[in-house]
Amino acid sequence: MILPFALQNPLRLTSPYLASLAIFVLLAVCNTSADPWQEATHHYSDSKDVRIHYAAMGKGPLVVLIHGFPDFWYTWRHQMQALKDVYRVVAMDQRGYNLSGQPSEKEAYAMSHLVQDVLGVLKAEGASEATIVGHDWGGAVAWQVALRHPEVTRNLVILNLPHPNGLMRELTLNESQRRNSAYAQTFKQGSPEDPKVFFGRAMTPQNLAGWVKSPAVRDRYIEAFERSSLSGMMAYYQQNYPDLP
C-alpha cells in the first residue's frame, strides 16, 4: 500500500498499442461478469532458489501484472479477463505471497531480487520482452524492471506509484506527502507481531483482507494471506522504502 499523489508529468501513451492496453487495464475494473479463478492456468518460474507462482490466460504478446500490498495475483482478475483474447496475460504472486516462495531473510526482499522474479517469469514464458503492469509495490518493481532492463520492457503501465525520483521529491519537499507516508516508517521499524502495526490494528489475514468488499472474494484473500509471510510483506518496506529525509 503506497498512498497516491498527483504527478506533474503523468505517463504519456506513445503508441496505439499502449493506449489500447492502458484502456483495457483501467476500465476492466468495471467487468465483474467473469472469474479467472476457474479459467486461469497456474505455473511456476525459478528465481535462483525461490519459486514464483503466476496465473496465466490467453495467447499473444506477453503482459505481466504485478500486485502490491496487501494483495495477490487474483487482484488482476478483471484485467485478465479483459486482456486474454488479445494478449498472453500473466499475474504473479510476488515472493512472500500466497503460492510463491517465502524466504525468511529480510535481505531476500531487496529490489534486486524482486526484479529478478519478474525476469524469471519472462524466461519461463519464453518471452524476450513484455508489457509490465504494476500497482502499488508492484508499481515500484515495474519501474525498476524498466529502468534496469529496458531491453525487456516493451511498454510500462504504472498504477498508484510515481517515478522513484518523484517519490523522493515529494518525501523531501511535500509535508502532506510525508504525513501520508508516515505509515511506511511504521512498517520499516515494526514487526507483524505488533498488535497495532497495521494502521492501529493487528496484522492478521482477516485485517489485511478487510478492504475487499465481496464476502466470497474476501475469503479467497484471507486464504491467500494465511499462506503468505507477514514478515515478508513488511520486508518490502524494510529493504526498499526510502527513509524520510
Q: How many CB atoms lie within 10 A of CB 184?
A: 20
pLDDT band at residue 245 under the 50/70/90 scheme: confident
Q: What is the DSSP letter of 19?
A: H
**Closest by CA position to 53, among listed 62, 41, 36:** 41
Is residue 211 within 8 Å of 75, Cβ to Cβ? no
Q: What is the mean pLDDT of residues 93-121?
A: 98
Mean pLDDT value of segment 172-186: 92
Amino acid residing at 219: D
Instruction: Tell whether pTM > 0.85.
Output: yes
- Distance CA(207)–CA(226), nearest Å, equals 11
Q: Residues 87, 63: contact at Cβ < 8 Å? A: yes
Distances, alpha carbon 36 to alpha carbons 96, 118, 153, 245, in Å:
22, 21, 25, 43
Distance CA(192)–CA(202), nearest Å, equals: 8
Q: Which CATH code for domain 16-240?
A: 3.40.50.1820
- pLDDT tens, position by position, 194-214: 999 999 999 999 999 999 999
**pLDDT above 60 for 1:** no
Cell numbers 500490498 correspond to 69
Structural domain boundaries in the chain: 16-240
**pLDDT tens figures, 11-26:** 334 455 555 555 555 5
The mean of the pLDDT values for the chain is: 90
Please give the grid coordinates belonging to residue 117.
522474479
Q: Are 119 and 149 in contact (CB under 8 A)?
A: yes
Closest CA to 211 of 158, 136, 138: 136
pLDDT at 83 > cutoff 60: yes
Strand partners, 50: 47
